Amino acid sequence: AAGMAAPTMEERKACWGARDEFWQCLDRHGDDAAKCEKLRRAFESRCPQQWVKHFDKRRDFLKYKKKLETEGYHPPEAAGKS
């Protein structure tokens, strides 16, 4: 993947496309990453490393937010468990 150079529009599109496919796969398989390994590798190879980290965090955040919206807020029973 590109170093710290800003990705071109084409590269950004390739990255976002790979991310979307990977995320859709996760959605279909209940976040079973093993079923989406090929798409994960494509995502990692098309996106700068920093972006991959950012998108992983973003997905966790979005999942958490959705959970709150559907189930309401429950204080974590096992604090410190990630």
Q: How far apart are CA 29 and CA 48, in angstroms?
A: 25
pLDDT at 53: 97
DSSP state of 4: S
Which residue positions in the chain have pLDDT lower than 70?
A: 1-4, 74-76, 78-82
| Distance in angstroms (rounded) separating the CA atoms of residues 5 and 26 | 29
The predicted structure's pLDDT at residue 76: 67
pLDDT of residue 3: 53
**Residue 8's closest CA among 46, 36, 45, 62?**
46
pLDDT of residue 6: 76
Domain boundaries in the chain?
A: 12-67
Give the predicted TM-score (pTM) of the model.
0.76
